Chains A and B, each alone.
Chain A
Amino acid sequence: MRAWFIFLRKELAVEGRHGMPIIQSLILTPLISALPLFLIYRRTYAQDNLAASWNGHSYQSEMWVGFVCHFCLNSGCYVFFNRLMSEWSQNTFALLWFAPRHRLMSMMTLSVTDILRVVLFSVTFSLLFLYGQTTLIPFLLVLLHFFGFFLLGAALGMIRMFLRILFPASLDLVFYLYLGLLLSSGFYFPTRFLPEQFQLLVQANPFVHGKIAVLGVMGGSFAVASGLQFWGSLALVWLVAIWLTGAVSVPLSEKALRA
């Protein structure tokens, strides 16, 4: 436990060794993120019958859920990716790489502030939500899915980082994949407006299934197939991330260190 406290302290000091950045990082950001979401919720839906509003077919509900999903994905993907790349550019990455911990755990130590931030965000949001609404279990299920989106983003960020470091001459394919998945996710506009040729892509998109699962829970009927596809995709992406972290050893680290 003491070790993780040291990791947290180090991460906070690396981010900015001043009072305000630490307060901003740990308190203001989660609050500022949670409050508008709550206000949007209150303004748009709290006055209506909840089950009727969250039917998964309303444009507003899709956009609102899409916004939060995108927020969680980006938190996972970019924050983690940037932190790892910063270690790489500061030449301190080798310290993590050669530490006698599982490399995945070593990488995770870089995300302790982000994880804490997400926890604080979730707690703040939960308190606000419960203040306005009383159904606990569906809400926890929704929160779990949002956390799933965060984890999916983190895994994609890790894969992107490793590929960028190990194959610096190649295209940043994961970014384009991420962009494609976002555009066909229905976070910005309902996917039914997409041309027919894109519908297959939409069906294969884990973001879409995650969003459908969230909307299903909110509407009072959990979409099991979509939920399974979402969590299955999450497991698959994490397997790839773990494989890249663990199996990437001599030949690839040689390239990485030379780069």
Chain B
Amino acid sequence: MKGRLYLERVSKGFCARSFFGRPKLSTYRPVVRDFSLEVNAGEVVALVGNNGVGKTTILKVAMGMFQPEHGKAWLEGKPAHCFDRQAVGAMLTHQMIYLSLTGWENLSYTAALYRLPDIRNAVARSVALWELEDFVKFPVQEYSQGMKTRLALARATLMQPTFLFLDEPFAFLDEENAIPLAIRNLRSLGISTLLTCPTLQQAAFADRVLRVVRA
């Protein structure tokens, strides 16, 4: 079951909130309805669609961050909310990196959190893979947005997970170097991946591309 994701007729919607935070049930809008998906080991699947059609919601349901209202989500052979945390890497819209730390310190910290046995080598390997050598000793607050994205990708793949969730991973990357590098790395790592992209062009490298439309 390693590296497999299974979503069965998943539905999820949201409500507007009152000033005091109460959900206004009359405003309920389904974002994802009866969505099914199977990702096999080593497969890269891209979700493509306009803004607001529910790509990120599907990703978060698959990661167990959102509980679906209907349907089932299974990741690595377990319900999505209790997956093996060692086996899953993620890069969400907020990139979960510390601005006052250097790139190296960010990666070392993640390696320590994930109990990697040889932290120094793991970080060095990841830095080389994502070509961060020139920047890795600087504080992240001095990085451009594209460099932050590359660092976040390095962080997500550092622990060599069996499943990877990426929310718009190419958003700030340049088309000439960084996107080809990211694609090359994602392909070479052989990790099962579910990612979201706004355009078909960016998703063309995936094994399967699913177009998500408004529920």
Contact = CB atoms under 8 A, between A and B. Distances in A.
A251 B114 CA distance: 24
Given A6-B119, A100-B114, A90 B85 contact: no
B139 A98 contact: no
Contacts of A7: 109, 112
B33 interface: no
Interface in A1-38: 2-4, 6-7, 9-10, 13-14, 17
B96 A9 contact: no
Contacts of A90: 98-99
B105 A13 contact: yes
A96 B113 CA distance: 8
A257 interface: yes
Interface string B89-125: 0101011111111000100111111110001000000
A95 B110 contact: yes
Interface residues of A, number: 31
Interface residues of B, number: 36
Nearest to B21: A169
A92 B105 contact: no
A153 B56 CA distance: 38
A182 to B, nearest CB: 29
A249 B100 contact: no
A84 B22 CA distance: 25
Contacts of B112: 2-4, 6-7
Interface string B71-102: 00000000001101110101010111111110
Contacts of A253: 65, 81
Contact of B96 (A3, A14, A92): A92
Nearest to A250: B81
A48 interface: no
A254 B65 CA distance: 6
Interface in B53-73: 60, 64-67
B92 A94 contact: yes
A168 B21 contact: yes
B90 A13 contact: no
A92 B139 contact: no
A249 B113 contact: no
B101 A92 contact: no
Contact of B113 (A17, A101, A168): A101
B97 to A, nearest CB: 7
A109 B66 CA distance: 26
Contacts of A169: 20-22
A7 B115 CA distance: 12
Contacts of A96: 113
8 shortest A-B CB distances, which residue pairs? A169-B21, A91-B94, A250-B81, A3-B112, A100-B85, A100-B86, A99-B113, A6-B112
21 contacts: A3-B113, A3-B119, A6-B105, A6-B111, A10-B98, A14-B101, A17-B100, A90-B99, A91-B95, A92-B96, A92-B97, A94-B92, A94-B96, A95-B110, A100-B84, A100-B115, A169-B22, A250-B64, A251-B67, A253-B81, A254-B66
Given A6-B105, A7-B112, A17-B100, 15 more contacts: A2-B112, A6-B108, A6-B109, A6-B119, A10-B101, A13-B105, A17-B139, A92-B96, A92-B97, A98-B88, A99-B110, A99-B113, A99-B114, A100-B85, A257-B65
